[in-house]
Amino acid sequence: MEENMELTAERSLEIITEQLEKSRRAVSKDTGEWLFVSGLTTMITAVIVASVNYLTWTPLAHLLWFALPAVVGLVMRRGRRNRVPVPESFVGTLVRKTWYTILAFALVYAVVAFIWNQVVYRFESPEVSSRIAMHIVPTILTLLAVAVSMTGLILKKRALVWFGLLSFVIFRFGVFWILCARLLPPDVLGRLSLVRPCELIFLFALVGLMLPGLMLKASSQPSPKGKGEN
């Protein structure tokens, strides 16, 4: 870009639009990477927790979930070591604050519910405890689906809004289990129920985090002309 005093009004407007769009695209790409890494890490954690659960029959493996935010943070930091950081922007801040708020709610709920469930299962009868236990996974999946949809609204990516809604409907309302019951043989279904809820988290991470992340990253690449919306 050279200094040019012959700049027309149209070209000025074009420059402003182009730069604003570049800024939004940088935030979209950054968010896409973040969603992708979160999804992938969650899927790996789900496999580890399910394996440990299956082999040792101990619920303690679920404590690994609490390490997830730190693992995602570390992976992102390592991956971005030699790259120019995306600056703070209004859109970026909005996305970041949305996720921090939702994740804070999810973490607090998970901790309280985990402790509550341990106490309830220890001191109450199975009938009572199954009724008053707090359901951690459906609530957290709902919160994450809301965050994905809100991110889509902020970044003006309609597909992301639908990914959030779709994952909410499939994994929150038992549609997943209805499909499994219809499509899978009973022995596979039986084995799947042994690793519950890891299979649900695994698939949610795929549909609700990893795929939207990939989509967001792909759609944030500059168009061949170098400008315009994707």
Partner 1 sequence: MEKVFQPLDPLLHAELRLAVMSLLIADVEAEFPYIREQTGATAGNLSVQIDKLSSAGYIKVRKTFKGKRPCTLCRITAKGQKAFAAYVEALKSYLDVKTSS
Chain positions 16 to 45 lying near partner 1, rule: CB under 8 A, are 16, 18-20, 22-24, 26
224: contact with partner 1 by CB under 8 A: no
DSSP character at residue 61: G
230 near partner 1 (CB under 8 A):
no
What are phi and psi for residue 226, nearest 5 degrees? 85, 5
Say which DSSP state 228 is in: S
The contact pattern for partner 1, residues 131-160, with x = CB under 8 A and - = no contact, is ------------------------------
Dihedral pair phi/psi, residue 36, rounded to 5°: -60, -50
For residue 161, which of 174, 152, 170 has the smallest C-alpha distance?
152
Instruction: Pick between residue 17 and residue 118 the one whose CB is nearest to partner 1.
Output: 17
- List 52, 87, 138, 145, residue binding partner 1 (CB under 8 A): 87
78 touches partner 1 (CB under 8 A): no
To 10 degrees, the CA torsion angle through 86, 26, 45, 59?
80
68: nearest Cα among 44, 48, 42, 50: 42
Q: Which residue, 81 or 122, has its beta carbon nearer to partner 1? A: 81
Q: List interacting residues with partner 1 (CB under 8 A).
A: 1-5, 7, 9-13, 15-16, 18-20, 22-24, 26, 84-91, 93
